[in-house]
């Protein structure tokens, strides 16, 4: 049974954090603020803040009480934030809670210019080419940069090894900037996510770049040491991809709050996320679901499957709706 539409009679001001300005997190925040404010007091409003760096800053701001809600990806890295491990070493955030998971089937992939004659990590290690590699920065704030370096290390390609070959990382914060460097010939290889975006297709079509299949042993190491999941790219996803290849997963958006967010606000936000999800889906339905930055249909039972504990009011909503 779907819970009836809740309302909040008082006016509420909330601070959300999206992305750099015009990507998917901002779109989700814009949808959510409209649906929430329609059901809250007459002077209700939200601010949607942008980020400048690599994506972890909003979690710290949320933890410190400067934000009420933020979004993060990939969800597999978020348990480390609670425990203060990995990228979040030394700064545990045990009061972070989730409202929902928004589905996005993403992968992290290493791809290389075909002129090197390399199609596997084994060949890469054997040939030891001096590469300029586009990547997101690994500065402790960037989810993409942190995961990409761990993926390379798991394949025996730590930074010291790459430097000994004459390689260098050419770093940016955002994936679109990295992929533009690869497209334009500024670099020889790239390790990035956002695999469904046109930026990747431009790299493949312009450079005939070769995605390398992640090695099973490396994926096992990443799962054992960090809890990272494996995924795959199907044959034909890119013009140069003749067979399905294993990859590192980089999936799903988590809608995050703190445990002390008032229950009525958390419940209404969760209701809006689930019961008005069609308004978000409609913004992506012109793109096939497997190529979309948000996969659809969005299923409430999967929204309730979060990598960190649900806020108690969100949990109550899912239980009342029969989604848990």
Residue at a domain's end among 249, 266, 299: 249
What pLDDT was estimated at residue 22? Answer: 85
Burial of 15 (0-12, 13-18, 19+ CB in 10 A): middle
Distance CA 30, CA 14 (A): 12
- Match 């394949």 to its residue by tokens: 155
Q: How many structural domains comprise the chain?
A: 2
User: Residue 5 falls within a domain, yes or no?
Assistant: no
What pLDDT was estimated at residue 55? Answer: 87
Are both 206 and 258 inside the same structural domain? no
Are both 115 and 198 inside the same structural domain? yes
Q: Residue 209 in contact with residue 190, Cβ under 8 Å?
A: yes
- pTM of the predicted protein model: 0.96
Are both 117 and 239 inside the same structural domain? yes
What pLDDT was estimated at residue 5? Answer: 87
Are both 233 and 143 inside the same structural domain? yes
What pLDDT was estimated at residue 142? Answer: 96
Distance CA 202, CA 176 (A): 11
Distance CA 305, CA 293 (A): 19
- Non-local (6+) Cβ contacts of 167 within 8 A are 129, 130, 131, 132, 133
What pLDDT was estimated at residue 54? Answer: 82
User: Residue 98 falls within a domain, yes or no?
Assistant: yes
DSSP 220-232: HHHHHHH-PPEEE
Cis amide prior to 227 (ω within 30 degrees): no
Are both 83 and 163 inside the same structural domain? no
Q: What is the CATH number of the domain that holds 299?
A: 3.40.190.10
Tokens of 236: 């034909």
Tokens of 305: 């499957």
- Match 């942008």 to its residue by tokens: 50
Are both 243 and 268 inside the same structural domain? no
Are both 123 and 232 inside the same structural domain? yes
117, 120, 126, 128: CA torsion to nearest 10 = 70
Average pLDDT, the chain: 97
Are both 240 and 265 inside the same structural domain? no
User: Residue 3 falls within a domain, yes or no?
Assistant: no
User: Residue 155 falls within a domain, yes or no?
Assistant: yes
pLDDT tens per residue across all 324 residues of the chain = 566 789 999 999 999 999 998 889 999 999 999 999 999 999 999 999 998 888 899 999 999 999 999 999 999 999 999 999 999 999 999 999 999 999 999 999 999 999 999 999 999 999 999 999 999 999 999 999 999 999 999 999 999 999 999 999 999 999 999 999 999 999 999 999 999 999 999 999 999 999 999 999 999 999 999 999 999 999 999 988 999 999 999 999 999 999 999 999 999 999 999 999 999 999 999 999 999 999 999 999 999 999 999 999 999 999 999 999
Distance CA 76, CA 92 (A): 16
Q: Nearest to residue 220, comparing CAs of 234, 212, 230, 233?
A: 230
Q: Where are the extended beta strands (E) located within the chain?
A: 13-17, 45-49, 69-72, 96-102, 107-112, 132-136, 168-172, 189-192, 210-211, 230-233, 245-249, 253-258
Residue at a domain's end among 215, 249, 283: 249
User: Residue 76 falls within a domain, yes or no?
Assistant: yes
Neighbours of 309 (CB within 10 A): 16
User: Residue 6 falls within a domain, yes or no?
Assistant: no
Are both 179 and 153 inside the same structural domain? yes
Residues spanned by the domain of 91: 13-104+252-320
User: Residue 4 falls within a domain, yes or no?
Assistant: no
Are both 57 and 161 inside the same structural domain? no
Residue at a domain's end among 249, 265, 290: 249
Are both 279 and 301 inside the same structural domain? yes
Are both 235 and 188 inside the same structural domain? yes
């Amino acid at each position: 049974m779907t819970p009836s539409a809740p309302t909040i009679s008082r006016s509420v001001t909330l601070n959300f954090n999206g992305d750099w300005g015009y990507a998917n997190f901002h779109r989700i925040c814009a949808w959510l603020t409209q649906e929430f404010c329609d059901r809250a007091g007459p002077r209700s409003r939200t601010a949607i803040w942008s980020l400048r760096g690599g994506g972890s800053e909003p979690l710290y701001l949320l933890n410190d009480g400067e934000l009420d809600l933020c979004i993060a990806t990939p969800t597999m890295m978020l348990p480390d934030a609670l425990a203060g491990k990995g990228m979040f070493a030394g700064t545990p955030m045990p009061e972070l809670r989730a409202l929902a998971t928004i589905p996005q089937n993403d992968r992290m992939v290493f791809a290389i210019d075909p002129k090197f004659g390399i199609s596997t990590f084994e060949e890469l290690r054997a040939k030891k080419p001096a590469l300029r590699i586009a990547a997101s920065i690994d500065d402790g704030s960037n989810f993409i940069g942190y995961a990409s370096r761990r993926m390379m290390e798991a394949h025996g390609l730590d930074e010291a090894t790459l430097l000994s070959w004459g390689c260098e990382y050419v770093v940016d914060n955002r994936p679109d900037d990295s992929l533009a460097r690869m497209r334009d010939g500024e670099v020889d290889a790239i390790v990035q996510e956002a695999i469904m975006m046109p930026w990747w297709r431009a790299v493949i079509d312009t450079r005939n770049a070769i995605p390398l299949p992640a090695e099973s042993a490396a994926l096992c190491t990443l799962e054992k040491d960090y809890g990272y999941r494996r995924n795959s790219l199907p044959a034909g996803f890119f013009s140069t991809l003749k067979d399905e290849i294993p990859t590192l997963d980089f999936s799903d958006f988590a809608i995050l709050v703190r445990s002390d967010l008032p229950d009525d606000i958390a419940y209404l936000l969760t209701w809006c996320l689930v019961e008005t999800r069609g308004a978000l889906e409609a913004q992506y339905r012109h793109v096939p679901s497997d190529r979309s930055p948000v996969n659809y249909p969005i299923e409430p039972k999967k929204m309730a499957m979060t990598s960190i504990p649900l806020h108690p009011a969100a949990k109550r909503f899912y239980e009342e709706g029969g989604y848990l």
